Chain A
Amino acid sequence: MAAPGLQVNQLFSERDDRVLFSDLCFQLNAGQLVQIAGPNGSGKTSLLRILAGLSSRYEGEVLWQGKSLQRHRHDYLSQLLYIGHGAGIKAVLSPLENLRWSCALRGMSHCDTSIMAALDKVGLRGFEEQACHSLSAGQQRRVNLARLFCIPASLWVLDEPFTAIDQRGVAEIEQWLADFVHDGGAVLLTTHHSLNFSHEFTILNLGDYANA
């Protein structure tokens, strides 16, 4: 049996002396989707930041393919694609320029064709060269989401991916997630929206782990 993808053991985190969650354990394997649920302030974003390796404010163990996250950061980061709740794009640059930079950060160059395909897929054909600040909030979000299609990864960690996206767009994104999971990807996401997902998926309610 292959080593599990992401494994979280007895994770504990607190903020300003307030326990966000304790004794949190779960697994996320290839071909699975886990939705992190919970009320505002329950630590959803904190959890995602910990799992992305941005935050060290936790106790417990996070393993990627059976290996500690801190020791094997390089392997993990080459497989991870994290989309935070920030804009994730520079407003003065065009979608094409933004994504070129994102690709260059991942060590990919001359990837204009895949960027164009990704922008086409998120419905931004014809907007490639326009400065992002002239796009609508939903379109800007789509530029950020286009990274999903031009950067290869096996784990997507998405913080509120549906923000500012219209109803039809939400269904589209759900389809993308389903396709990715079907192809053996793993997805971890937070959303307040009730997922309409064709596959089986797990909901992890952080409120259950917030004992005082």
Chain B
Amino acid sequence: MPSAGLLSLILAVLQRDVIASLRRGSEWSNPLVFYVMVCALFPLGIGPQPERLAELAPGILWVVALLASLLATDSLFRGDFDDGTLEQMLLTHQSLYPQVLAKTLAHWMMTGLPLSVLSPILGVLLQLPPAGMLPLMASLVLGTMVLSFIGAIGAALTVGLRKGGLLLSLIVLPLYIPVLIFGSSVVKTAIDGGPYMPQLAMLAVFFLVALALSPLAICGALRISVDQ
């Protein structure tokens, strides 16, 4: 029997989740549609004046991206919990850590990454000045990755509960705050012509911390959720 390393385990999990998500379609498209729709609500709510929209755009784009990522997070482990494949993940002699890491990364690739790529179009809709486009994308790429890792902790804690959705947002939203602060600040600073690299670097630090620590909490939470 050929034995495989950590990397091939991670790749196998990544591949399986990405394929499953692509085949189902709604899993990756719904957050995007949500992002577009909610962003389109703001001009209707606060008026179409370009200057005012331009001023609010960084905050709006970031808050809505955060909400879209949050809504998508609920399904991260739910499918596996319902069809019993989560039990298989827990019952191998291989460590759960790389599996959880791969699942969260796959989830980000299907939600956070498309959101970030799409964001400049919404920036145009909300009159975001051109100087803010690239920083918006960059901050969302890093930021949504952190959001996915934090959200995965909440998803793992609530996966065994029948009504997870709203509860998940209650426990996860306060933890999202630092990411929101630095993420929207990147865009705002860039528009004002200031140096935004420090904030971007801060998001990268958050990402590294989340990457190292959150899988531990996710693994623990999954074991608790299965054991009830």
Direct A/B contact, Cβ within 8 angstroms: yes
List residues of chain A with CB under 8 Å of any chain B CB: 52-57, 74-75, 77-78, 80, 82, 84-93, 97, 100-102, 104-111, 131, 152
Query: Is B52 interfacial (CB-CB < 8 Å)?
Result: no
Provide the bound-state CA to CA distance between A107 and B4, in Å: 5
Question: Do most interface residues of chain A lie in helix, strand or loop, or is the interface mixed?
Answer: loop
> What residue of chain B has the Cβ atom nearest to residue A132's Cβ?
B83
Q: Which residues from chain B contact A108 at a C-beta distance below 8 Å?
A: 1-4
Q: Which residues from chain B contact A75 at a C-beta distance below 8 Å?
A: 93
B-side interface size class = 20 to 34
Report whether B9 and A105 are in contact in the complex, using a CB–CB cutoff of 8 Å.
Answer: yes
Report whether A90 and B2 are in contact in the complex, using a CB–CB cutoff of 8 Å.
Answer: no
Report whether A56 and B227 are in contact in the complex, using a CB–CB cutoff of 8 Å.
Answer: yes
Query: Is B19 interfacial (CB-CB < 8 Å)?
Result: yes
Q: Which residues from chain A contact B84 at a C-beta distance below 8 Å?
A: 84-88
Report whether B79 and A54 are in contact in the complex, using a CB–CB cutoff of 8 Å.
Answer: no
Report whether B1 and A152 are in contact in the complex, using a CB–CB cutoff of 8 Å.
Answer: yes
Q: Which residues from chain A contact B93 at a C-beta distance below 8 Å?
A: 74-75, 77-78, 106-107
Provide the bound-state CA to CA distance between A111 and B4, in Å: 11
Closest 9 CB pairs of A and B: A86-B84, A104-B12, A78-B93, A109-B4, A77-B93, A92-B23, A87-B83, A101-B16, A105-B92
| Known A-B contacts A78-B93, A106-B94, A109-B4; A86 and B83 likewise in contact (beta carbons under 8 Å) | yes
Q: List 7 A-B contacts (CB under 8 A).
A: A54-B90, A86-B84, A90-B83, A93-B16, A93-B23, A107-B3, A152-B1
Report whether A100 and B12 are in contact in the complex, using a CB–CB cutoff of 8 Å.
Answer: yes
> What residue of chain A has the Cβ atom nearest to residue B87's Cβ?
A84
Q: Which residues from chain A contact B83 at a C-beta distance below 8 Å?
A: 86-91
> What residue of chain B has the Cβ atom nearest to residue A80's Cβ?
B91
Give the most central of B3, B89, B227: most A CB within 10 Å.
B227
Interface readout for B143-161 with A: 1 if CB under 8 Å, 0 if not? Answer: 0000000000000000000
Report whether B87 and A104 are in contact in the complex, using a CB–CB cutoff of 8 Å.
Answer: no
Query: Is B8 interfacial (CB-CB < 8 Å)?
Result: yes
Q: Which residues from chain B contact A100 at a C-beta distance below 8 Å?
A: 12, 16
Query: Is B40 interfacial (CB-CB < 8 Å)?
Result: no
Report whether A90 and B9 are in contact in the complex, using a CB–CB cutoff of 8 Å.
Answer: no
Give the most central of B19, B24, B79, B88: most A CB within 10 Å.
B88
Report whether A104 and B9 are in contact in the complex, using a CB–CB cutoff of 8 Å.
Answer: yes
A-facing residues in B6-54 (Cβ within 8 Å):
8-9, 12-13, 16, 19-20, 23-24
Report whether B85 and A90 are in contact in the complex, using a CB–CB cutoff of 8 Å.
Answer: yes
Q: How far is the CB of B65 from chain A (nearest CB, A)?
A: 27
Q: Which residues from chain B contact A77 at a C-beta distance below 8 Å?
A: 91-93
